[in-house]
Structures are given as structure tokens and as C-alpha cells.
């Protein structure tokens, strides 16, 4: 079961903009002429996306029985999301419809392969005991929810620990900004934790003294916060996984052509890792497969069209370049 907000993404492909970055090409801004009419290439509307729904669709395509716990408004956008989930085979028994709320709708300003997202999460009525009823899944994948949801996090942590549920946690922007101390029970209840290198630094620096930002240091420090397994991604420089005993590195799977849109790349990596690990219990095998789904996703507009069926993913792995292999680093 995936727990996370659902939304509609409206992709606006810009044709006239300028990207300016600092000397390290790390802090970048996009600018357009103020007070003018700005042409755009194309508008693409994709329903039933967001970190949680993306993970649900990914797991379903990889062969898992996938349920989604999320909230929609009683509006046409909510109906579109429900239909899209059902079309993708995701179980919708726990999709909660709330009267008086609008389904989340985001605008994605897309330029080259990067994007800036204008977000707004509706204040849904999160209530785990009411919504989950008596369902106890083997695994949950918990990710981005709205800002008024702190009590919901504590409910989830307690439910996971009381029922010995395996939890993967991929924090969204709000959950990262809350910091470790507010979500200490979530971190301690987490089986697999996911974020990128920059997010790990943001989480760790307020609570621990980092000697440096080396990936081995970050993996160990994040593991000390409670998760049994820590997965950190480093963009084009690959991904890492650490379980307290050993750590592995895998490079990025080579793109067959220039990426079209990087939306959902992190979701596809994390959900693939979780699904394969839940099936095999093998850290190395899960890590090898995550970047393959990410490679496929960035070849398409939106976070779900490129998600692979299991046989296709295995075909990519079988035909991987010789240098695409997992390397033990600790």
C-alpha cells in the first residue's frame, strides 16, 4: 500500500526562457519577461500522479498487488484521477473522496529536461484509523502529504510498529522541512529510506555533526537516525544503498537518448527498489533495477508513461552495458 497525496500535473513546455546558474551549476533560476505574453510549445495534462500514485503504478507494473491510500475532491479532477488509477490496475478501495475539497492540481513549467513545479496541497482530513479500516498490508510506501498532516505521521508510525509492517519512506518537501526531530518516530519505524544527496544534507545537518558530505558519511549518519536501509541518489553520479553491514553503489543506467522530462525519476527508482527488495530481500539486486526504471521514465513526458513492466525491466538488465554493475563500497 502506498500512502501519499494524489494530483493532476499540467505540463507547460516553455519555448522562451532563460536558465541562470551559479559558478558550480548547482543553484539555478529560470526567468521570463515580466508583463509580456510568453509562448509555450505544448500543454500536457497528466492525472493521478504525485509521489504516492507514481509508486503505486510502478509497483503494479512490476507485478505487485498495489493499493493506494489517498484523498481526492468530489470534482471532475478527482474522477479523472480515480479512472486513471483503475486503468493502471491500482486498487482504489482506499481512495477517499472528500466533499468541499478540490483535487490537487499542479502546474509544471518544463524547459529542456528540467522543470519547476507550482504546488498546492489541499488540507484533506487525514485519519488513518477511519480510512484504513482493518487492512494490514505487508509493506507500505509512505511519501508526500500536505502540510497539516503531522498527527497523521504519528498515527502511521504507531500503526506500522504495532503491526510489524515494513515501511519505505520517501519524504516530500514538507516532510523534509519538518526535520528529523518532528518525525523521529517515522524514521525509527522505517525499513527503507530514500532521498537524494542534497536532501540528506538538509535533514542531517541540524541533528548531527558531519565531518564531510562524502556519501559514505551520509549513508552512515542517516542510518543512525533509525532506518534499516538507506538509499541515497546523486543524480547522474549514481545511487547508493546501505543496510548497516554493507554498502553498494550503482551508476546511472545510460539514457538511450537525451531525457525529455525528469519528473518522476526519483519515484521510479525508489518504488522499483522497494518492490524488488520486498520480493527478494536482496539489496544488490534491488539497487541494480532502480536506475533502469528511472532511465525509462525520463524518456517520456510525465512520471508514469515510461514505467516498465517487469519483463521489460529484466530485459534492460540482461542487455546492460558491461560497466553497469553494482560495486560494494563498504
Q: How far is residue 23's CA from residue 192's CA, in Å, rounded to a whole number?
A: 35
What lies within 8 Å, CB to CB, of 216 at 6+ separation is 247, 329, 330
Q: What is the pLDDT of residue 223?
A: 98
- Spell out the per-residue pLDDT of the chain, length 330, in tens: 999 999 999 989 888 888 888 877 778 888 888 888 888 999 999 999 999 999 999 999 999 999 999 999 999 999 999 999 999 999 999 999 999 999 999 998 988 767 788 988 888 999 999 999 889 999 999 999 998 899 999 999 999 999 999 999 999 999 999 999 999 999 999 999 999 999 999 999 999 988 899 999 999 999 999 999 999 999 999 999 999 999 999 999 998 888 887 878 899 999 999 999 999 999 999 999 999 999 999 998 888 999 999 999 999 999 999 999 999 999
* Residue pLDDT, tens place only, 192-236: 999 999 999 999 999 998 889 999 999 999 999 999 999 999 999
Burial of 284 (0-12, 13-18, 19+ CB in 10 A): middle
Q: Are 68 and 137 in contact (CB under 8 A)?
A: no
Q: Are 121 and 104 in contact (CB under 8 A)?
A: yes
- Which structural domains are found in the chain, ordered by start? 49-104+122-328 (3.40.1190.20)
Q: How far is residue 60's CA from residue 144's CA, in Å, rounded to a whole number?
A: 19
What lies within 8 Å, CB to CB, of 124 at 6+ separation is 5, 71, 96, 98, 101, 146
Please report where in the chains the cell 542487455 appears, as a residue.
Answer: 319
Q: Indicate the pairing of strand 2-3 with strand 139-142.
A: parallel
Closest CA to 321 of 256, 248, 224, 254: 254
Q: Indicate the pairing of strand 2-3 with strand 68-73.
A: parallel
Grid cell in block for residue 198: 542534497
DSSP per residue over 44-74, as a string?
EEEEEESHHHHHHHHHHHTT---BEEEEEES
If DSSP codes are grouped into helix, strand and coil, which group holds residue 127?
coil
CB atoms within 10 A of CB 10: 16
In the chain, which ranges are E strands? 2-3, 7-14, 18-21, 28-31, 40-49, 68-73, 95-98, 104-111, 114-118, 139-142, 166-169, 192-196, 229-233, 239-242, 247-250, 327-328
* Residue pLDDT, tens place only, 68-98: 999 999 999 999 999 999 999 999 999 999 9
Q: Give the H or E element holding residue 130.
A: helix 128-132
Grid cell in block for residue 38: 510568453
Amino acid at each position: 500500500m502506498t500512502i501519499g497525496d494524489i494530483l493532476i500535473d499540467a505540463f507547460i513546455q516553455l519555448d522562451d526562457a532563460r536558465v541562470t546558474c551559479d559558478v558550480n551549476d548547482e543553484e539555478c533560476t529560470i526567468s521570463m519577461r515580466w508583463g509580456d505574453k510568453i509562448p509555450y510549445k505544448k500543454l500536457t495534462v497528466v492525472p493521478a500522479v504525485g509521489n504516492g500514485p507514481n509508486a503505486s503504478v510502478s509497483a503494479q507494473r512490476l507485478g505487485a498487488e498495489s493499493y493506494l491510500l489517498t484523498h481526492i475532491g468530489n470534482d471532475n479532477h478527482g474522477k479523472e484521477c480515480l479512472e486513471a488509477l483503475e486503468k493502471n490496475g491500482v486498487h482504489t478501495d482506499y481512495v477517499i473522496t472528500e466533499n468541499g475539497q478540490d483535487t490537487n492540481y499542479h502546474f509544471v513549467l518544463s524547459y529542456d529536461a528540467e522543470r519547476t513545479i507550482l504546488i498546492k496541497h489541499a488540507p484533506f482530513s487525514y485519519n488513518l484509523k477511519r480510512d484504513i479500516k482493518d487492512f494490514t498490508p505487508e509493506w507500505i510506501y509512505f511519501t508526500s502529504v500536505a502540510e497539516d498532516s503531522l498527527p497523521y505521521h504519528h498515527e502511521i508510525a504507531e500503526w506500522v510498529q504495532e503491526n510489524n509492517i515494513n515501511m519505505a519512506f520517501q519524504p516530500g518537501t514538507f516532510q523534509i522541512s519538518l526535520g528529523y526531530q518532528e518525525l523521529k518516530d517515522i524514521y525509527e519505524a522505517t525499513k527503507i529510506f530514500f532521498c537524494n544527496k542534497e536532501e540528506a544534507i538538509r535533514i542531517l545537518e541540524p541533528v548531527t555533526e558531519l565531518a564531510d558530505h562524502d556519501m559514505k558519511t551520509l549513508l552512515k549518519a542517516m542510518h543512525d537516525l533509525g532506518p534499516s536501509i538507506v538509499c541515497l541518489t546523486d543524480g547522474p553520479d549514481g545511487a547508493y544503498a546501505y543496510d548497516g553491514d554493507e554498502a553498494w553503489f550503482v551508476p546511472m543506467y545510460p539514457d538511450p537518448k537525451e531525457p525529455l522530462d525528469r519528473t518522476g525519476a526519483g519515484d521510479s527508482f525508489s518504488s522499483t527498489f522497494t518492490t524488488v527488495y520486498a520480493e527478494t530481500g536482496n539489496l544488490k539486486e534491488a539497487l541494480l533495477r532502480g536506475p533502469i526504471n528511472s532511465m525509462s521514465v525520463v524518456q517520456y513526458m510525465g512520471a508514469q508513461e515510461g514505467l516498465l513492466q517487469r519483463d521489460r525491466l529484466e530485459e534492460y538488465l540482461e542487455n546492460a552495458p558491461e560497466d553497469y554493475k553494482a560495486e560494494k563500497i563498504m
